[in-house]
Amino acid sequence: MLRLTKTTLAIATIAFFNVSSAQANVSEALQNICTIVKADDKGELRKKMKRVESDFKLKLKDYYTGISCSGNSLIRTAMLSNAVETGTLMVKKMPKGDLSTPEQDGKTVIAWASENGLEASPIVTALKDRI
């Protein structure tokens, strides 16, 4: 009985440390994603998304809302940086329902873009076509 308890405790401890280290590794893997989006480096963004998906089984929709680039989401950052290639890639990779969902400030990406004079952006056109 004591042996079973020790074994169970050891397994629980190992599982706890593996989960917490996985969270830190995801953060490290996504660390420079804002820089990649701003630089409009579609190839590097694609590599990063594939690496995160293969290493952590996460798709863009899983970590999109958790990333903020100077207070803006990734697609908003792409619009502000005129990063058309990375912006349209993210629009294509996100589920349609998530694209029309209000973000942290309560505004959808399209509403935010029109308020900020970015409705002529090719990213907005891609958003409208996708939704």
CB contact at 8 A, 18 and 59: no
Q: Which H, E and C letters describe 60-112, residue by residue?
A: HHHHHHHCCECCECHHHHHHHCCCHHHHHHHHHHCCHHHHCCCCCCCCCHHHH
Report DSSP state, residue 119. Answer: T
Question: Is residue 85 very low, low, confident or very high in pLDDT (cuts 50, 70, 90)?
Answer: very high
pLDDT score, position 3: 58
CB contact at 8 A, 110 and 124: yes
Predicted TM-score (pTM) of the model is 0.78
pLDDT score, position 1: 54
